[in-house]
Amino acid sequence: MDPEDVKIVESIPLSRIPTIDRDGWHFTKNGKYTVKSGYQVERTYPDIEQGAVEFGPMVTALKANCWKVRCPPKMKHFLWQLLWGCIAVKKSLKARGIKGDIRCDICGASEESINHVFFECPPAVQVWALSTIPTHPDHFPGQSLFVNMDYLFWRVKPTMEEHHFAWILWYIWKGRNSKVFSNLDTEPRETLRRAMTESLLWMEAQQEIVQPQDQVTHTSDAVLPIRSGRWCFTDGSWKPEDTFSGQGWYSTLEGFEGLLGARNTRASQTPLHAEVEALIWAMECMRNLRQYNVTFATDCSQLVKMVSEPGEWPAFASYLEDIKSLKRSFNSSEIIHIPRTQNNKADSLARSVRQQTSFTVHMDTYHPVCFIEST
């Protein structure tokens, strides 16, 4: 067996409570499938069998560039549909079995194709001529949709800082729909005016959003919520090359000396697994010490989300069953998120014990000297 597979198998958690096996998705943190992760897997592990041989120039770069255009998401999707041939012009509808007249309602041309609507129809040609985008009879606008889009994406000189062409295409399409569905004609100058106005407003809105962000300051010295009873701060420590994962907790109760615990275990799968395992061990320790009213605090926000929404994290189902079972041991328990700066002691314990050269477990009121030397 491959050594990497051995390491993964050894780090799989075993639940203390018998549970049925369930399917999961290995390529996300929470074990749930997402379209994004599916595409990533497809790129990382392509099919061994070769696909159909393609002839001629590739248009993949054109389609990919749609998502880099500086415009609203709906327009990026619109450009992507345009290049994929998903725009509902009459020629495309006929190709999908919808019968009807395929002539252009605006100019009467014999065939309304995607390229005709956006680059060949006389009103569209006038819009491009009135715009600041250079036109040339031999280059743009032309008879090929892909050549025209290639020109707008990369060939315009001087290079466009703002992608106004996306709005021009958008409003050419809106003008076409007004004619087809409402029999309303839109003048080329009006189409261009609307496109330029909307594009400039959108550009200004992006600047208004970005500027305040530069002035935002984040304070790390947040005040912990006031809660009576015992507190238990937990943290996990993990590094991919290390043999062990570290788990640390520090418990306080007003009027009493603090308690602490630290141990290392065989390396976990991920940093998040180490955080969950640290919480479970801290809960077990508090239960064994007969502390039944405890607020558990962690600086891992994903851990708090996991406990509050267990159904969204199938990859951690066995851990969550253990946490659910342990919570029944307490009269009152809560798991909250705190800033990392408020969790220094538990963090120090977890990091120190992770660096030990052998299995180590420590529970007491003091920080052992060997831990201090290893930090």
pLDDT in tens, 304-333: 999 999 888 888 888 899 999 999 999 999
Q: What is the pLDDT of residue 225?
A: 62
Q: Are residues 78 and 151 in the same domain?
A: yes
Q: Are residues 185 and 235 in the same domain?
A: no
At a CB cut-off of 8 Å and minimum separation 6, what does 237 contact? 245, 246, 247, 248, 274, 347, 350, 351, 353, 354
301 in helix, strand or coil? helix
Can you give the pTM of this predicted structure? 0.54
Q: Are residues 244 and 348 in the same domain?
A: yes
Q: Are residues 187 and 89 in the same domain?
A: yes
Q: What tens digit of pLDDT does each residue of 234-290 get?
A: 999 999 888 899 999 999 988 788 899 999 998 888 899 999 999 999 999 999 999
Name the domain boundary from 155, 187, 202: 202
Q: Which two tokens stand for residue 342?
A: 């408020």
14 within domain boundaries = no
Q: Is the pLDDT assigned to residue 46 strictly greater than 70? A: no
Q: What is the pLDDT of residue 57?
A: 58
Q: What is the pLDDT of residue 47?
A: 64
Q: Are residues 67 and 120 in the same domain?
A: yes
157 within domain boundaries = yes
CA 267/CA 244 separation, integer angstroms: 4
Number of domains observed in the structure of the chain? 2
Beta 244-252 vs 230-237: how paired, if at all? antiparallel
76 within domain boundaries = yes
The full length of the chain comes to 375
User: Is the model more confident about 152 or about 372?
Assistant: 152
Determine the residue type at 276: V
4 within domain boundaries = no
Distances (CA, A) of 249 to 143, 344, 351, 371: 70, 10, 11, 14
Q: What is the pLDDT of residue 316?
A: 87
Which of 56-74 are b and which e, b meaning 16 or more Cβ less than 10 Å from the residue's Cβ? eeeeeebbebbeebbbbee
CATH of the domain at 317: 3.30.420.10
Q: Are residues 182 and 318 in the same domain?
A: no
Determine the residue type at 361: V
54 within domain boundaries = no
38 within domain boundaries = no
Task: Say which residue the tokens 């200004």 belong to.
Answer: 204
Q: Are residues 296 and 358 in the same domain?
A: yes
Q: Are residues 243 and 192 in the same domain?
A: no
Give mean pLDDT, residues 202-231: 60
Mean pLDDT of the chain: 85
Phi and psi torsions of 333, nearest 5°: -150, 145
336 in helix, strand or coil? strand
9 within domain boundaries = no
19 within domain boundaries = no
Cα angle value 290/291/295 (rounded, 5°): 155
User: How deeply is 270 buried, as exposed, middle or buried, from its count of CB atoms within 10 A (0-12, 13-18, 19+)?
Assistant: middle
Determine the residue type at 216: V
Q: Are residues 105 and 151 in the same domain?
A: yes
Phi and psi torsions of 100, nearest 5°: 155, 175
Q: Is the pLDDT assigned to residue 212 strictly greater than 60? A: no
Residues 89, 95, 96, 102, CA torsion sign: positive
Q: Which two tokens stand for residue 93?
A: 């509808």
Q: Are residues 245 and 182 in the same domain?
A: no
Q: Are residues 190 and 297 in the same domain?
A: no
Domain housing 143: 60-202
Q: Are residues 153 and 249 in the same domain?
A: no
